[in-house]
Amino acid sequence: MGSRNFLKVIVQNFDVLAGPLVTLAYPLYASIRAIESKSRADDKQWLTYWVLYSLVALFELTFAKVIEWFPIWPYAKLIATCWLVLPHFNGASHVYEHFIRPCIVNAQTVDIWYIPRKKGIFSKPDDILTAAEKYIEENGPEEFEKLISKTNRVSRSRRNSRRNSSYTISEEANGYNCYDSYNIFHQPVYQSYT
């Protein structure tokens, strides 16, 4: 009778007992072996496993109250972890190759300005006009005017800074003392070393 109760407790708490062995103990041992081996395949397997384990742990921490409503979650997690961990399946490498790597390698950059790509020799010369029209459609004419005024301010400040630096350079080239002009790079620095 005592052994029957013991087995019943083990079966009812199988996920609690096997979880740490499958999710932590064996992966730690295998990760140490992977560090010591010369193969890159096992490194990728275990690095990917730890990334996925971290994501699952974050998911569990974030949605702990929701997960409590699903009594099957610990068993599903144990089965999924076994698939990720066991060398026969190499699930972590599979997830990396088929889901993570395509997202990283084929990542598309998104620009605020939409400028159509030129399709050939006879492409439209008004690509910037098309981009401006699209921006106005999405954000409105007021935002477009704000963008233009901001761009004008930035370009004026760049032109002024270029003029000031070229004025100083031309005065230096002519042999004039340029310390009178406002340029912090050419002001004399007096420093005492006492």
Q: What is the pLDDT of residues 144-170, one digit of tens each?
A: 888 888 888 877 877 777 666 554 444
Give dist(CA 187, CA 185) in Å, integer: 6
Spatial CA neighbour of 85 closest among 13, 12, 19: 19
Give dist(CA 67, CA 13) in Å, integer: 17
Helix (H) or strand (E) holding 150: helix 141-173
Q: Rounded to 5 degrees, what angle do the CA atoms 10, 1, 20 make? A: 10
Interval 31-67: pLDDT, tens: 999 999 988 888 888 999 999 999 999 999 999 999 9
What pLDDT does 118 receive? 54
Question: Given pLDDT bands bounded at 50, 70 and 90, which one contains residue 125?
Answer: low
- pLDDT value at 124 more than 60: no
Other CB atoms within a 10 A radius of the CB of residue 157 amount to 10
Interval 63-78: pLDDT, tens: 999 999 998 998 899 8
Kindly report the pTM of this predicted structure: 0.49
% of residues, the chain, pLDDT over 70: 71
What pLDDT does 193 receive? 52
Question: Given pLDDT bands bounded at 50, 70 and 90, which one contains residue 108?
Answer: low
- pLDDT value at 16 more than 80: no
Is the alpha carbon torsion for 62, 66, 69, 71 positive or negative? negative
Question: Given pLDDT bands bounded at 50, 70 and 90, which one contains residue 83?
Answer: very high
Instruction: Give Cβ neighbours of residue 85 (< 8 Å, ≥ 6 apart).
Output: 22, 23, 26, 27, 30, 49, 91, 92
Q: Given its phi and psi angles, is residue 179 left (phi above 0), alpha (psi -120 to 50 degrees) or beta?
A: alpha
Question: Given pLDDT bands bounded at 50, 70 and 90, which one contains residue 187?
Answer: very low
- pLDDT value at 99 more than 90: no
Give dist(CA 179, CA 158) in Å, integer: 22
